[in-house]
Amino acid sequence: MTDPDTLWYLLSALLVLVGIAGTVLPALPGVPLVFAGMLLAAWAGDFQQVGWPVLVVLGLLTLLSFGIDFLATAMGAKRVGASRLALLGAVIGTFAGLLMGLLGVFIGPFVGALLGELAHRRALGREDMGHATRVGMGTWMGIVLGTVLKLGLVFAMLGLFALSWWLD
C-alpha cells in the first residue's frame, strides 16, 4: 500500500503542473491551481517545511495574478482605443479559440476583439478595418503580456515555495 502522504504530494504536484498549463490556457485558473497545489503540499507536510507566513505571501501573489490579467488586457486595449464590445469579443474569442486547439487560443482573442470592434464601429456608422485590426492586435498583445507576467509570477511562487521547503 502506498503511503498516504505520497499520494497527497503527487496530487499537489499534479495541481501545480495543471496550474502552469492553465497560466497559458485561459480555460483553467492557472495561478490559483498552482497555489492550491502548494497549499496541499504544505498541508501534507503538516506545515513544517512551508508555514503560514510563506503561504500568505503566496496567496497574495495569487490575488495579484487576477489584477495582472485585468490590467494587462485593459492597458493593451485602451492603448489602441478599444471599445467595450472589443473587450467582450476578446473574451468570447478566447473561449471559442479553446475549441480549436492551441492555435485557436492564440488567434481567438485577436479575432474576437477585431469582430467586437467592427460591430461597435458599424453601430456608430464608422466602419474602419484598420482601426479594428489595431484594436485586435493591441488587445491580443495585452493578453500575451499578461500571460508572460503571470508565468513569471508562477515561477517566483515556485521559487519561494522551494526555498522555504529546503531551508527548513
Residue 2 has pLDDT above 70, yes or no: no
Segment 24-43, tens digit of pLDDT:
876 678 999 999 999 999 99
- Asked if residues 89 and 116 have their Cβ atoms less than 8 Å apart, the reply is yes
Q: How confident is the model at residue 87 (pLDDT cuts 50, 70, 90)?
A: confident
Q: How confident is the model at residue 9 (pLDDT cuts 50, 70, 90)?
A: very high
Q: 39-54: b or e for each residue (b if 16 or more CB lie within 10 Å)?
A: bbbbebbeeebbeeeb
Segment 124-137, tens digit of pLDDT:
777 778 888 888 88
- Looking at residue 3, its pLDDT comes to 77
**What are the extents of the domains in the chain?**
4-167
